[in-house]
Amino acid sequence: MKQIISASINLSDFDLQESDLLILDERTVVVTHWNWDYGLAHKFQRAALALVQETPNLRILICCNHPEVLTNGRGLQKPRKGESLELVEFRPEAHANLPFPLYQIERGGGLTFHHPGQFIFYPIVKLNPKALSLSLMIDQIFDFTIEILSDWGIKNLDHENKLLGIWQGKRKIASMGIAIEKLATFHGMALNMLENPHMKEALRSLNPCGLNAETYTSVEALGELPNNPLERFKEAFLKRVKHEWK
């Protein structure tokens, strides 16, 4: 599968090397790139999506983070019947002097943020109602994350809130935004691992995911982190993916 990717996609166009690709199992390739320019990462997602759509049994899982950047999706989460979410819509025209680049993208959700202190997981996979539906995939990504952080001593996390994400009470630690084209997914989860004062300051005048910026917290703020937390988390996360996503 690595050879299929290398033969179909010019990795250097996306600031990637062959060594950034890892075979997880007979159908799954993991791409890891830290501090990856968002524009290049987004273009690679599109190239990977096209390849997964046309290649039987291929899955491409991206683990990465980005320099400080803002992204805006197709729109805020819609309330279910009888619900009131009270979210604040982001209007780009009202924020002409944003401190970081802004990308308008295809995923669901509103404004969100990325920075080097996040662990980001983009699953480029074909959905299958019997094996891996969208709801199951999202639930398992959240479950894997909660299990790992619980092992690190971060307790009382859940994803049962009416707003999509991982929460500890009223504080949000991870966000999810997925896009689907021809039954294949792209975009994904951003887990706030480390604090970022520059991003925190910028968000004070914004409403990421329609929420007050103070809603957001990080693993670092909630407990002790192991050495090299992004790599440690990636290893533990992929171990669960390999076991569960047959």
Q: What is the DSSP string of 137-169?
A: HHHHHHHHHHHHHHHTT--S-BS-SSSSSEEET
The sign of the dihedral angle between the CA atoms of 27, 141, 207, 172 is negative
Give the phi and the psi of residue 73 in degrees, each rounded to 5: -90, -160
Active site amino acids? 209
The 8-class DSSP code of residue 78 comes to: P
With beta carbons less than 8 A apart as the criterion, state whether 111 and 72 touch: yes
Give the distance from CA 238 to its chain's centroid. 14
Please name the helix (run of DSSP H) or strand (run of DSSP E) that holds residue 48, with its range, or none. Answer: helix 38-54
Q: Centre a 10 Å sphere on the Cβ of residue 133 and count the other Cβ atoms it contains.
A: 12
